[in-house]
Amino acid sequence: MKKNWLLFALLLFFLTKCYPQQNSIYFIEVNTNYTYFFIDNNKYSVDYKNSFNYGFSVLINKQISRKLKVSSGITYLTKNSYYNVVPTSFNDYFMGKKYLLSYINVPITLSYLLTPRNNLLCYISNSLIMNNIVNYDLTRYYSYAEKNDFNIDEGQKPGWSYRLGFEIKKAFLSKLFFNFCPYIDYKFILDFDEQPLSYKNLKDDRLSCGFSIGLIYYI
């Protein structure tokens, strides 16, 4: 865990110092997020589905050159899924499961300005994201009751993702911008060394996509 934070801090320090500016420009970005996870159902006998997965983020941005900016901050994200089962003569009680996970993610993003046009800014962004599970709950549904497991500890560890995004920023006040960013993520290091049985439905969900909407204020 300490090695992950040290690597992250060194990378952020390098990006902010390698492009020194005499007059640095900082701005605060607040977003809401929606994410869809691609779960590989071909390996399992049930049809896993996404619940509505949302998030919030607060980021600090620094303009490090005329066309480059770097940002980092904190993102809260849910990662919820479920499946339903039609009772059979073999099992007429069990009806399905719901998986509820919460993350605190820490991204570091380098964005390149493509088109500055009349208060409309378009960036291509590349992010390295450290993913940290802060809560994992599981609900089992039976015809007669529900059974819940809260704060499950299955050996979670920080995972790492790469994100490719396309940022669109539109000014509507002197220091305030509207922000919209569709993105696609690939998790190249998973959250577990080995997937436990109760978590196996999420084993192959390395790929996800979504978008963020928010506001940016120039300090």
Q: What is the pLDDT of residues 7-66, one digit of tens each?
A: 555 554 455 555 555 456 888 999 999 999 987 665 556 678 899 999 999 999 988 888
Kindly state the DSSP code that residue 146 receives in the 8-state scheme. Answer: E
- The per-residue pLDDT for range 101-116, each reduced to its tens digit, is 999 999 999 999 998 7
CA distance 56 to 78: 10
Q: Provide the residue range defining the domain that includes 59.
A: 2-18+25-218
Q: What is the CATH number of the domain that holds 195?
A: 2.40.160.20
CA distance 102 to 155: 15
- The per-residue pLDDT for range 165-178, each reduced to its tens digit, is 999 999 888 889 99
Residue of 67, 71, 34, 80 whose CA lies nearest to 185: 34
Please give the model's pTM, rounded to 2 decimal places.
0.82
HEC string of 149-180?
ECCCCCCECCEEEEEEEEEEEEECCCCEEEEE
Asked if residue 164 has pLDDT above 60, the reply is yes
Domain count, the chain: 1
